[in-house]
A and B are shown apart, each in its own frame.
Chain A
């Protein structure tokens, strides 16, 4: 079993839809939770970062962490065609190693 599981999709939604992307994990030591966005043929870029449990909002994006369930989510409101990309969750135990464990990535397509 992988430490981090993410449904690879692909996920296709109409413009304006609310998108929910999710990851589950098994390592209870994870404290830092990130979402990276990767456009086609580009390197991943950090989108959202959350420490421990709770919610974080940035514009149309909300990151949610539920450590009791070992479950994290990324919500995209009013999705746009420019949101079409692969979204990767990543986690770290925060042991000064800087190492991240990535999910498989979910490919999202937002249709105009």
Chain B
């Protein structure tokens, strides 16, 4: 069965460290998205990609970067982790088109001390 996975599921890091969160999907979807979820804010879009070598900034992209070298993966990098980046991070993917369901991964809980 096709799926979308994230790793690690939990991560504790220190302020200033670089952190990379992995996202891997086997749906063969063109579109991939990274969100963060915080109490009172719902899901906020960080970065997204419509295909290999394509990346775009979302609503809250400062301090984050992504790269898309193949269809299956969209790693999210925190350049220099800050306590404000403590959050739950979700990766999602969808097929091309005006509307297509986004399939979400299980999330990564990141704590920055």
Contacts and interface: CB of A to CB of B under 8 A. Distances in A.
A44 B102 CA distance: 9
Contact of A104 (B42, B104, B105): B42
Interface in A42-81: 42-46, 49, 51
Interface string A76-88: 0000000000001
23 contacts: A41-B107, A42-B106, A43-B104, A43-B105, A44-B104, A45-B104, A88-B43, A92-B98, A92-B99, A94-B98, A96-B96, A96-B98, A98-B31, A98-B94, A98-B95, A98-B97, A98-B99, A100-B102, A102-B42, A102-B43, A104-B41, A104-B42, A105-B43
B106 A43 contact: yes
B90 A44 contact: yes
Centre residue among B31, B94, B101 by max chain A CB count within 10 A: B101
Contacts of A105: 42-43
B4 to A, nearest CB: 8
Interface string B5-17: 0000000000000
Nearest to B90: A43
Interface residues of B, number: 26
Contacts of B104: 43-45
Measured as residues with beta carbon below 8 angstroms from the partner, the interface class of chain A is 20 to 34
A100 B94 CA distance: 11
A41 B9 CA distance: 10
Given A41-B107, A43-B90, A99-B48, A88 B96 contact: no
B27 interface: no
A109 interface: no
Contacts of A46: 101-102
A44 B105 CA distance: 8
A88 B42 CA distance: 8
A8 B69 CA distance: 38
B64 interface: no
A6 interface: yes
B40 A98 contact: no
